[in-house]
Structure 1
Amino acid sequence: MEISAEQLRLSKQETIYALGPSIAADEAEAIFEQTEGWPVAVQLARVQKQARPSLPLKAGAPGSLVATYLTEQVLASLDDDVRDFLLAVSILDRFNPELANAVRKRDDSWRLIDCLTHLTALIVPLDIEGDWYRLHHLFAECLLQTLCREAPARMTELRRRASQWYAEKGDIVEAVKYAAAAKDYNKCESLILDAGGWRVILTDGIGVLRRMLRPIPSEVLDASARLLVARAYLHCKDGEQRQARALLEKAKILQCSSNDNAFIRDFRTVESMLHVYEDTEEWVRAWKAVHQNEIDFSAITPLEAGTIKCEEVVAQISVGDFDDAAASLKSAFAYMRQSGSVLGLNYCYLHAGVMALHRGELNIAQANISRALELAENNFGSDSGLKYVASVLDFALSVWKGAATAHDIETFSNALAHVEEYDGWADIYIIGLDAAFHLALQCDQDAFAEQLCARFEAVARHRNLERLENFNDILKYFLELRRSPSKQQERMRERLLSWQATDADGQLGRAWQEYFIGAATLARDARAAFDRVAHAIDRSMDHARRCGANLHLVRLGTAKALLLQRNGMRQESREALTEAIKIASRQEILGPFLCESAMLRIVKAARDFFRTDEGAIIVTDIMADVLARATVLRPPELGQVLSDREQEILEQLAGGKTNKEIARHLELTENTVKFHLKNVFSKLSVNRRTQAIAEARRMNLIE
């Protein structure tokens, strides 16, 4: 709702009422005409008339000028010490007796405040106890103009004293504000750097550093190398990596001939965090080189050490080195606790959640993510950026536990909007995209999955995140496989198959997540060569076992089961599924089994096969949980109109196989295949093989 200036003015009757019965009606009407009903001018007129009834108002002046005139008249009616008090506190947005004493270098402010009780409309109490006050803004403005006119040098000194008082109280934001108002920019710089510079973000939050820097002119900020570094970190948190890099380069040029150890430490630490956000191959190589020459952590602060250790954790996770990441994270926790940085601890819990999620330790992931959410909410508010990052991880955890539903997609989208815009890094985006994409498949929401890919493509390009872009391309290929064959599928298939054939030494490096999802996606491509895909999956599973990425091992196991089933190797498919379920059962990782109808059919068939096997009770219980969960996510499937054999033949048909090839894969005669196809065509109301495939895809009978 918009309130106009006219609505803020008093009417004639309201003015007469506000002036009170001690002022005659004709005088009250004259005051209304002169003040134009502006409340502060009316109140000033009332004060003047009470103090000096015979003094006439200034004729013919507009309301704002009347306010200035009346302020002068009110001041003229006051004792010198009271007048001096009002002029001194006019530089303050708010004041209490202690602050007023400090700026005036007097100890009588309580007494003077008591002397001004008749100015209650102009001196406003801010709390019930009456400790803090402020001047009415228009009254303060008039007083400030008077002070500037009468004693400009004193105004500057008063502001310096206010800055000093706030600094002693530990309120650096206010201290910087008053130092900037006094144009004492050297003081501003020293206040911010003494408070920690960029470290303020980790000790007090992003908003505090932002408010510290706000009153300082840009040309002053650009002349301070260490403030440039602090601003660079702010840009990191705002998702503006290019701007952050530019500021660091400018700071390096400013400081090129100096051996200022404080600057060197600031620069090194902030650049290490910028590397995390930039997520480049060069970063990992540089990080390895730097850490081969071990950093002397005893020569830096615990906060700096904890920050560098957090960078180390992210770098190690990015190459799938979870054992070393666990050791680094333990050190990071210790340093952050020693530093007292709640924000730093929050990041440690987030990194711990990421690592546990990859390792399939869902209970540990839940504990760390919940702690991160709690810390963010309690210490940084409901709109905290860290809360949104933790919410993305919490959502992913829910998906892989098999506990998420379509209703959770909106919650995720809201959290993602903030992480897209502000504090997010490659691993968070990949985890969020991966989980949301697969939940969309679980809920048969291909349209949302497509929108999601478009959204993350924009993030990857805006932030120049190559890993995210590659991962997103693979998921787009996954979606393409659910449609009719196309040239785009063919190009992506060849790209992935060629890529999977590289790195024969088994060192996947930073591409490990793309490699895993690429192998799993190829398993869904009926036109990809079986031998090449099977080799890629086996190699990926070996790597997942070596690095302990059990969540991914389960997902690769389900992909292997799908690949073998589609190629008529039912016993081998069942064995692959059983192995995946045994790993999943340790932490109830149900999500990977819920993504596709074909996977659910394999689970159902395996459950029926093992039903009478007493030794397989754990496996069959997990299978039953998966199938029960699937009924919540999806309505009863139309695929149930086909028999299991008809479904198998339909899937082979979709893979481009001839009747003879289908018969060979399923160990049937060619005539039996033709018989089942005739039934499939009848049930789908089609006459040709291509029509059957198209209709089956429309009905979600095949992927």
Structure 2
Amino acid sequence: MYLMGANPNNDSPHRPEGGSVTPDRHGLSFADWLITSKVIPVNQPAFLISRQALGLMLAACVVKTVTLLEAPGGYGKSTLLAQWRDRLMARGHTVGWLFLDEDDNSPTILLTYIVYALTKGGLPVSDRLRQLIETLPDLSPKAALGMLLNIIADTDGKVLLVLDDFEMLDDAAIASVIAPLIRLAPANFHLLIASRTRPRLAQAQLHAQGRLQEIRPAQLRFTPAEIEEIFHGRLSKSDIQRVEELTQGWPVALQLLRSWINQDPARLAGITAISGLTEEIIEYLSEQVVRAFPAEVRTLLMDTAVLLHLSDQDIREVCGPLADWSALLNCEPLRPFLLPHEGSDGIYRLHPILKEFLLLELARASPARKAELHDKAARWYARTGRLLPAIRQADQAGDRELEAQIIEAAGGVQIWLRHGLAISQSVSRLLSQDLLDRCPRLALLRALVLLKEGRMADARALFHRVRETTADFTRDRDSGDTTALRSDALMVEATLQVNDCRAVSDTYLTYYEKILGEAYRESEFYAGHVKTLLCLSCHQRGHFEKARRYGLEALAHYSREQVWHGVVFVHLHLGVIAFAQGKPAAASASYLEAKTITQQYFSSDRSKPLLIHPLVAELHYERNELTVARHHVASVLGRLQTMEAWMDIYASACLTAASLAFVDKGPESALSIVAKAQHDADNRGLSGLMTFLRAAEMLFLARAGLVERATEISAAIDWRLDGYFSVTESDTTWREQELVFLARAALALRTGRPRDAVDELGRISAIFQRSGNIRANIRISAMRALALHAAGDHEAAIDLLAGVLAQCRETGYVRIFHEERDGCAALLRHFIRRAPMAEPYRSVKTYAATLLQELNQEHRPPSPGRLTPRELDVLRQLEEGYQDKMIGRILNMTENTVKYHLKSIYAKLRVSSRTEAVREAQRKGVL
């Protein structure tokens, strides 16, 4: 094997921090910030020896799930793994390689690099792999691991992943990514780990299962025969014995000793005179190596030790304009310790052992010089866009103020918009408590990261603490920027409001615009951001015209700045406004515009289509275009818990999906979707969504005739009805208002209390009429007409229904009639018979007849050939003689769902019992 492997520093010399993507040679779109050198072993020195004993352990690597190389630095772990990688790839195996660093403690970054490494290592390209790569930023670690392991399991041949510098991972990253990767690994997947410290991998359990191979320092030490080979047979047996005794076979010591002798072969004669402990030998040899360099090289080299990489430009900027890069390149004794970047001409790394020694020497000789160099490196990296290395250099300089300046200059919370969540998380991890306490803008960045990680309570608490300490964001730290602080606070507060799914009162909106007016007038970007928030808040409250005005203004600001993600969001808000106002064509056009921009500028961003599909599905569902609605819902289901969204997205996705499930599979399926949404909302701290979801549960229970369960839910909810009727101060959205009163009315109608529904629906309908919310008014007024009819007030029902039908004819929003089919069919028949022939009744009677025909057609029992696949499954189990509970277990459905399918089967086959159903199905050839 190679004598000594490098342990590279994994920060790129010019690391792009942005969120753009670049396709590789397979057409796979990876983020530009990924560092290619992290997934390729560093070029090794040319001198090689064969290590037969360790070579035998290679065979176990493709049998054991985990091979762990645990030893201090300098034991050749990376070198051994690099040699094994070459041999395994020569045998046709897929082998990914990943150097780990501090940034990989972000699960998203770690998983992205694992997929990147395996792809570079030969993992076959497939549609599923492309989907995984494109959706990684939006997936939870669990979901991403599941997709990756399924891809690996279906891959022919062995798939191995090398994780070098494993000690850089913290316990949280191991627990969330590596532990499940090992626990769930398919038989063809193998992990090779190199670590300087003992990781927490449940080694005892893995040993007991026969899934672990461990290689310790004793096995990595060089034997006398290998030492002889290293020195090409120039050592006597006594010399070999002495070298082994003093170095204990430590590969790095042997490499340094070999280099020291090669510089002056005469030194070989005095090798037996070396004495001292191993640590002292390493220090002595390091000193001897360095002293062999010319004085000017030695001085410059000590300065360059602070750099992550060595290049002409970096050295001149940090070490001074007279620094002679060519002197380092042309220094023959230094060449073994300069490790080139593969694929990066003119960029090198210092050998880590030499680098460590030089840094210690620099700190001992001139602490002030070391701090000065770190300071210069921090400023240079910041100017060239290398944000994370810049922050680390400022930290090593001991300059907390510089750290703060670098982060604030990079945009504070704008880092999230400019560079994405993964980079924001890495920056947040570098923030000390001292910086958080002194610098409110950095604390706001931490609050934003906490929020995006789903820790709403922690984010909210930190945000309010910053608000208190800065006098409502009017006082930044000394030398700070109060305007920037206000802008950062705006972004965090807006995100808090949106993510909590709550509307804001008119009083707050007025105050909000007043205090932030100056800030957003100074910047198109912030103007767009503020106007977007105002647009969203106004339309959620039902102030549609004001919301539309803000939306168009935001669109203009974003378009001038070419902030296309902002343009996408505004088009979605404008689409929701048009949808609520009963303008389906305008809504569809806005959604299409958002889709077009997404395809043009964010083709690899899978999160934005997830925001568009629920709204499009909702529009088609409301118009009873169920096939199209199903298509769009299918693109979203199962991925809502990974999305960063707002009330309109969560509400439209959940309610449309559950409503379609109610139609297609029965109430238990719909309730299952709502229960999953409740669980996700609770886990993510979306308290503003919970009343909406409980109302949805109550509505489906009532429509399924499960009135006892619906009544229990109604009794458990603190409805706060007076708040729903407040036009200016309510913190509820129009979506919640609409659904709450629909659910209460549905239950009241099914428990013989139509008059209660009439009164409540009348009050909320008046609010929707004043706001111009056509969609909500159609639904609420249709339910109120049903309640009036049930209460015996037939003339009032006819009068109200005439207006509803006119709006339905205009918009196509008829789904409420299908959802309440039985009652609405009777009401429509009464309307057609009893409504006067004068206007406005006469012009909608024809439309009422058409709508009634659609309802009757939908309800007509289908032929046996139209039994659904699930109904046929239930029929087959009936034929076997199983009861409902056992059928549910066999088909993985609840007992209530089985009963729902039985009811449908009876209707379609025109029978009334299980025995008759089986007999009729056999007679007609269905079974």
TM-score by length of 1: 0.72
SS in 2 for 1:165: helix
- On the 8 A contact 1:402/1:594 being kept in 2, the answer is no
Cα shift readout 1:444-472 (whole Å, capped 9, x = no counterpart): 25444334433443455567656422211
Distance 1:484 1:238, change over 3 A: closer
Using the TM superposition, give the Cα deviation of residue 79 of structure 1 relative to its aligned residue in structure 2, in angstroms. 1.7
Is 1:416 equivalent to 2:640 in the alignment? Answer: yes
The equivalent residue for 2:912 is 684
Q: How does 1:159-170 map to 2 (within 5 A)?
A: 159-170=374-385
Which amino acid counterpart does residue 684 of structure 1 have in structure 2? S
- On the 8 A contact 1:96/1:133 being kept in 2, the answer is yes
d(CA) in 2 for partners of 1:633, 1:584: 31
SS in 1 for 2:413: helix
- On the 8 A contact 2:507/2:728 being kept in 1, the answer is no
Using the TM superposition, give the Cα deviation of residue 319 of structure 1 relative to its aligned residue in structure 2, in angstroms. 0.8
Using the TM superposition, give the Cα deviation of residue 309 of structure 1 relative to its aligned residue in structure 2, in angstroms. 1.4
Distance 1:182 1:268, change over 3 A: closer
Is 1:73 equivalent to 2:278 in the alignment? Answer: no
- On the 8 A contact 1:201/1:208 being kept in 2, the answer is yes
Using the TM superposition, give the Cα deviation of residue 213 of structure 1 relative to its aligned residue in structure 2, in angstroms. 4.2
Which amino acid counterpart does residue 415 of structure 1 have in structure 2? R
The equivalent residue for 1:478 is 699
d(CA) in 2 for partners of 1:157, 1:29: 46
The equivalent residue for 1:186 is 401
Cα shift readout 1:271-320 (whole Å, capped 9, x = no counterpart): 64244445656654321345478934675322332222122112102211
Which amino acid counterpart does residue 370 of structure 1 have in structure 2? K
d(CA) in 2 for partners of 1:67, 1:131: 29
Using the TM superposition, give the Cα deviation of residue 476 of structure 1 relative to its aligned residue in structure 2, in angstroms. 1.6
Equivalent residue in structure 1 for 2:553, among 320, 331, 342:
331
Is 1:247 equivalent to 2:459 in the alignment? Answer: no
Equivalent residue in structure 2 for 1:5, among 69, 73, 81:
69
Using the TM superposition, give the Cα deviation of residue 580 of structure 1 relative to its aligned residue in structure 2, in angstroms. 6.7
Which amino acid counterpart does residue 656 of structure 2 have in structure 1? A
Cα shift readout 1:156-202 (whole Å, capped 9, x = no counterpart): 11111111212332434332221121011111222222333223333
Distance 1:405 1:343, change over 3 A: closer
Is 1:529 equivalent to 2:753 in the alignment? Answer: yes
The equivalent residue for 1:363 is 588
SS in 1 for 2:349: strand
The equivalent residue for 2:199 is none
Distance 1:235 1:80, change over 3 A: same
Cα shift readout 1:340-383 (whole Å, capped 9, x = no counterpart): 545544543443454345444442343244257447845xx657
Which amino acid counterpart does residue 912 of structure 2 have in structure 1? L
Is 1:318 equivalent to 2:540 in the alignment? Answer: yes
The equivalent residue for 2:737 is 515
- On the 8 A contact 1:369/1:393 being kept in 2, the answer is no
Identity of matched residues, %: 20
Over aligned residues, Cα RMSD in angstroms? 5.2
Which amino acid counterpart does residue 302 of structure 2 have in structure 1? L
d(CA) in 1 for partners of 2:533, 2:545: 15
Q: How does 1:256-405 map to 2 (within 5 A)?
A: 256=471, 258=475, 261-262=482-483, 265-266=486-487, 269-270=490-491, 272-273=493-494, 274-278=496-500, 284-291=506-513, 295-296=517-518, 299-339=521-561, 341-359=563-581, 360=584, 361-371=586-596, 373-374=598-599, 377=602, 382=605, 389=611, 393=615, 402-403=626-627
Distance 1:542 1:279, change over 3 A: same
Is 1:436 equivalent to 2:657 in the alignment? Answer: yes
d(CA) in 2 for partners of 1:145, 1:394: 62
Distance 1:321 1:501, change over 3 A: closer
TM-score by length of 2: 0.56
SS in 2 for 1:5: strand
Is 1:87 equivalent to 2:302 in the alignment? Answer: yes
Distance 1:37 1:483, change over 3 A: farther
Distance 1:556 1:125, change over 3 A: farther
Deviates more, 1:212-221 or 1:303-312: 212-221
Is 1:149 equivalent to 2:364 in the alignment? Answer: yes
d(CA) in 2 for partners of 1:28, 1:399: 82
SS in 1 for 2:339: strand
Using the TM superposition, give the Cα deviation of residue 51 of structure 1 relative to its aligned residue in structure 2, in angstroms. 1.3
Using the TM superposition, give the Cα deviation of residue 96 of structure 1 relative to its aligned residue in structure 2, in angstroms. 1.8
Is 1:453 equivalent to 2:670 in the alignment? Answer: no
Distance 1:104 1:391, change over 3 A: farther
- On the 8 A contact 1:159/1:178 being kept in 2, the answer is yes
- On the 8 A contact 2:293/2:334 being kept in 1, the answer is no
Equivalent residue in structure 2 for 1:134, among 334, 349, 370:
349
The equivalent residue for 1:701 is none
d(CA) in 1 for partners of 2:423, 2:786: 53
| Larger fraction in helix | 1
- On the 8 A contact 1:310/1:348 being kept in 2, the answer is yes
d(CA) in 2 for partners of 1:467, 1:458: 14
- On the 8 A contact 1:557/1:577 being kept in 2, the answer is yes
Distance 1:514 1:299, change over 3 A: closer
Cα shift readout 1:61-96 (whole Å, capped 9, x = no counterpart): 55x776554433321222222223332222222232
d(CA) in 2 for partners of 1:83, 1:506: 73
- On the 8 A contact 2:504/2:731 being kept in 1, the answer is no
d(CA) in 2 for partners of 1:173, 1:458: 36
- On the 8 A contact 1:358/1:552 being kept in 2, the answer is yes
Which amino acid counterpart does residue 517 of structure 1 have in structure 2? L
SS in 2 for 1:510: coil
Distance 1:444 1:184, change over 3 A: same
Unaligned regions of 5+ residues in structure 2, if any?
Answer: 1-64, 71-76, 81-219, 834-843, 873-906, 915-927
Using the TM superposition, give the Cα deviation of residue 575 of structure 1 relative to its aligned residue in structure 2, in angstroms. 7.5
Distance 1:160 1:535, change over 3 A: same
The equivalent residue for 1:582 is 809
Using the TM superposition, give the Cα deviation of residue 105 of structure 1 relative to its aligned residue in structure 2, in angstroms. 0.8
d(CA) in 1 for partners of 2:503, 2:492: 15
The equivalent residue for 1:653 is none
Distance 1:566 1:532, change over 3 A: closer
- On the 8 A contact 2:374/2:396 being kept in 1, the answer is yes
The equivalent residue for 2:104 is none
d(CA) in 2 for partners of 1:136, 1:531: 84
The equivalent residue for 2:868 is 635
Which amino acid counterpart does residue 262 of structure 1 have in structure 2? T
Is 1:492 equivalent to 2:714 in the alignment? Answer: yes
Distance 1:523 1:393, change over 3 A: same
SS in 2 for 1:250: helix
Which amino acid counterpart does residue 689 of structure 2 have in structure 1? L
Distance 1:619 1:512, change over 3 A: same
- On the 8 A contact 1:554/1:584 being kept in 2, the answer is no
SS in 2 for 1:222: helix
d(CA) in 2 for partners of 1:498, 1:358: 24
d(CA) in 1 for partners of 2:717, 2:664: 29
The equivalent residue for 1:672 is none
Distance 1:279 1:496, change over 3 A: closer
Distance 1:507 1:288, change over 3 A: closer
The equivalent residue for 2:450 is 235
Using the TM superposition, give the Cα deviation of residue 393 of structure 1 relative to its aligned residue in structure 2, in angstroms. 4.7
Using the TM superposition, give the Cα deviation of residue 484 of structure 1 relative to its aligned residue in structure 2, in angstroms. 3.7
d(CA) in 1 for partners of 2:532, 2:579: 17
